[in-house]
Amino acid sequence: MAKPDESMVKTNQQRRSGFFSFLAESVREMRRVRWPKRGEVVLYTAAALVMSVVLGLLVWGFDLGVSKLMSLVGVV
């Protein structure tokens, strides 16, 4: 088992708690985030919309088919 990185290990004296510690750590984490470019966001949004439409059409078609089948059987 690998030893933890010494820079990641905090002693009890170094460990802070409370709202301000949470806020400072959150700001530090947000600086490390790789934010997507505008083109990537547009592409991902378009892909999500297309997939939503495709899945919606599939569910609609399945529902229509089951409804027809139920009416043929005489359940509805």
Q: What is the pLDDT of residues 15-72, one digit of tens each?
A: 667 999 999 999 999 999 999 999 999 999 999 999 999 999 999 999 999 999 999 9
Q: What is the pLDDT of residues 32-43, one digit of tens each?
A: 999 999 999 999
Whether residue 41 lies inside any domain: the answer is yes
* Residue 39: per-residue pLDDT: 97
**Residue 47's domain spans which residues?**
37-76
CB contact at 8 A, 37 and 45: no
Whether residue 63 lies inside any domain: the answer is yes
Q: What confidence tier does 12 reach under pLDDT thresholds 50, 70, 90?
A: very low
Whether residue 9 lies inside any domain: the answer is no
- Take residue 73 and report the two structure tokens written for it: 């059987």
Whether residue 55 lies inside any domain: the answer is yes
**pTM higher than 0.85, yes or no?**
no
Rounded distance, CA 64 to CA 22, Å? Answer: 52
Whether residue 7 lies inside any domain: the answer is no
Domain total of the chain:
1
Flag whether pLDDT at 8 surpasses 70: no
* Residue 74: per-residue pLDDT: 85
